[in-house]
Chains A and B, each alone.
Chain A
Amino acid sequence: MMTADVQANQPPAPARTLTTGRLPRLIDVWVALGALVAAALVFAGFGHLDYVAGWLALGAVLYLVAIGILASIVEGRRWATDRFVRSLVIVAFLLAIIPLVSTLWTVVEHGITTLTPQFIFNPEKTQFDRTTFKTVLVAGVWPAIVGTLIITGIAALISIPIGLLAAVWLTEYAQPNHPVRKIVTFLVDVMTGIPSIVAGLFAFALFSLLVGPGTFNGLSAAIALCVLMIPTMVRASEEMIKLVPLELREAAYALGVSKWRTIVKVVLRTSVAGLVTGAMLAIARVIGETAPIYIAAGYTRTAFNADPLHGAMSTLAVVSFRNYVDPDPTQPAVTQAEAWGSALLLIIIVVILNLIARLVAARFAPKARR
């Protein structure tokens, strides 16, 4: 009765409806096109049609404003906010992938013509051209491919087991407030942010002390990569192992399975897909490193060296860097092509490794429900 009295004194409530006005379905696309055209007209008015970045930015802003106003008139505030935020997210996403696509495009554009079997499977060499009586440089990156694989391979062989075992200890054995656990976690966090040049200097200094000053070799570069790789591996594996539910460990314990077997056959087996991905990320993190390898393994332009213990060794990243900043004075085009070619090859190698990791992960992933 109280409510009835209160209602009687209130002004009559507006009629409630369950519908609101809606904009047509493809309105976002049309507004976006309109905004881009308007922005183009503005820039054309200033006579600067070539300012693509400015045109896109203005177009994005106009689009956001227009869709917001339009929706708030037709559809009401909640829908307007929804449209505005959704558009903001899409614009932010596009902004984020522009550098990525642009990099990829540039590398492919410059590098694709260089990629021939001759380029991939031979070292760089000079040839005497009998018709022009000139020595020409023939690009080739086989030593750098081998160097990349050897150095990264050694780094992975050292880092993945150490990182994995450290993660197992942190998650399965160490009590939550074990002092060593705290120290290890802290150091791993600090090392994750270590500049790669520091890792290179560390390895170079280490080998200078052990072997002698000015030692360049592949192993030294691999050690430098380990410094970068181990923290990534520890962190990634730790997170993956933590995802394995406690119930699965308990199930194994309740069957009279020892702790070590439970870890190997249940915990690691269940998380193997994530662990492979983590290892892959750690490899991808270091395979493109330039500075530490340049410092620790030096650089060799032509010599093929597959011995990680002696002598300078190149990797694709270093070859790309050197050829780009320090092109051959007589034939700059060849060395430039070599720089782009090795960059593209590096990307291709990472993609291949990624695909392999995906296959492995898919093969071992917990079987899907149904």
Chain B
Amino acid sequence: MSKRIQAVDLNVYYGDFLAVKDVTMTMEPRSVTALIGPSGCGKSTFLRTLNRMHEVIPGAHVEGEVIIDGNNLYGPGVDPVLVRRQVGMVFQRPNPFPTMSIRDNVLAGIRLNDRKMSKSDGEALVEKSLKHANLWKEVKDRLDKPGASLSGGQQQRLCIARAIAVAPDVVLMDEPCSALDPISTLAIEDLIEELKQDYTIVIVTHNMQQASRVSDKTAFFNIAGAGEPGKLIEYDDTTTIFSRPSVQATEDYVSGKFG
């Protein structure tokens, strides 16, 4: 279920603009890797290259390789749609489908792809995914209500349930708690802790305490100035990054001197 991702000499461009330069790092299976850094440093951009979501933006392209389980995501003949079935994603703002009920939102990955699934299998999958997302107890009596009727934190857990219902190997999270209150954030953080038993998780966060709470390894990205590409400055165990980083910029950032 859980797979290793390696980025090798990855450059990300928006048109001619080099947004992220020369990232090489390995994200281990069954672990949480946090990407931290100031705004505009390219951490979200980098995250989106891990399931080719950056291609949604016209003109965005990459050089280099992202290898999952020995397969290069950017190799010839690779279908981005199939990539995304293996590498799911949770976004900054909860985005349940407004036309669907809670149940249909969980099953969206199956329904939208017209995959056949018996009713009982579907119910079982809904229950399993929602239980996995720590949402089952709260919504089990109102699965037919619209997904948008939930609170922000519940919606985000619904989105996580939706992402894991298609059984990906990797779950990418792009600042999943930045639109949530502290209680909901705590619920999501607990969930991340559980999810890492089964998935490779890569999370972008602005919140350094969150990175230190949930992640096993932390990557610090930085940008030299406006118009410069973002770079991976330091990548190490989270405890090392937050206690004795080897680069001065990392220490300045995690100690709150800038950013």
Contact = CB atoms under 8 A, between A and B. Distances in A.
Nearest to A175: B58
Contacts of A246: 56
Contacts of A254: 51, 53, 84, 88-89, 91, 163
Contact of A367 (B53, B81, B83, B98): B98
B85 interface: yes
A354 interface: no
Interface in B31-74: 51, 53, 56, 58
A256 B81 contact: yes
A364 to B, nearest CB: 8
Interface string A353-370: 000000000001011111
A245 B98 CA distance: 11
A16 to B, nearest CB: 40
B113 A261 contact: yes
Contacts of B146: 366-369
Contacts of B148: 366-369
A269 interface: yes
Contact of A261 (B51, B82, B98, B112): B112
A252 B58 contact: no
A253 interface: yes
A254 B84 CA distance: 5
Instruction: Report whether over half of chain A's contact residues are helix, strand or loop; otherwise say mixed.
Output: helix
Contact of A258 (B81, B111, B159, B163): B81
Interface string A236-272: 0000000001111111111111110110011001100
A350 B150 CA distance: 39
A366 B88 contact: no
B85 A256 contact: yes
Contacts of B96: 251
Given A247-B91, A254-B89, A256-B85, A261 B97 contact: no
A369 B149 contact: yes
A329 interface: no
Contacts, number: 92
A251 B53 contact: no
A250 B56 contact: yes
B243 interface: no
B97 A248 contact: yes
Given A255-B163, A257-B112, A248 B84 contact: no
Nearest to B146: A367
Contacts of A258: 81, 113
A250 B108 CA distance: 13
A252 B112 CA distance: 8
Contacts of B210: none
A193 interface: no
B98 A252 contact: no
Contacts of B89: 250, 254
Contacts of A366: 98-99, 146, 148
B101 interface: yes
A25 to B, nearest CB: 39
B258 to A, nearest CB: 30
Given A367-B148, A370-B149, A269 B99 contact: yes
B121 interface: no
B109 interface: yes
Nearest to B148: A369
Interface string B88-130: 1101010111110100000011011110000000000000000
Nearest to B109: A255
B56, B96, B97 pick with most chain A CB within 10 angstroms? B97
A278 B109 CA distance: 30
A117 interface: no
B166 interface: yes
Given A250-B53, A250-B56, A261 B88 contact: no
Nearest to B84: A256
A62 B239 CA distance: 78
A12 interface: no
B5 to A, nearest CB: 16
A251 B113 contact: no
B166 A256 contact: yes
Given A261-B114, A366-B148, A255 B108 contact: yes
Contacts of B112: 252, 255, 257, 261-262, 265-266
A270 B97 contact: yes
B157 interface: no
B162 interface: yes
Interface in B157-200: 159, 162-163, 166
B97 A251 contact: yes
Contacts of A99: none
A176 interface: yes
Given A248-B97, A250-B95, A255 B114 contact: no
Nearest to B147: A367
Interface string A173-217: 001100000000000000000000000000000000000000000
A182 to B, nearest CB: 15
Interface string B211-239: 00000000000000000000000000000
A367 B101 contact: yes
Nearest to A247: B95
A257 B53 contact: no
A103 B114 CA distance: 51
Given A255-B162, A367-B99, A247 B93 contact: yes
Interface of A: 175-176, 245-259, 261-262, 265-266, 269-270, 364, 366-370
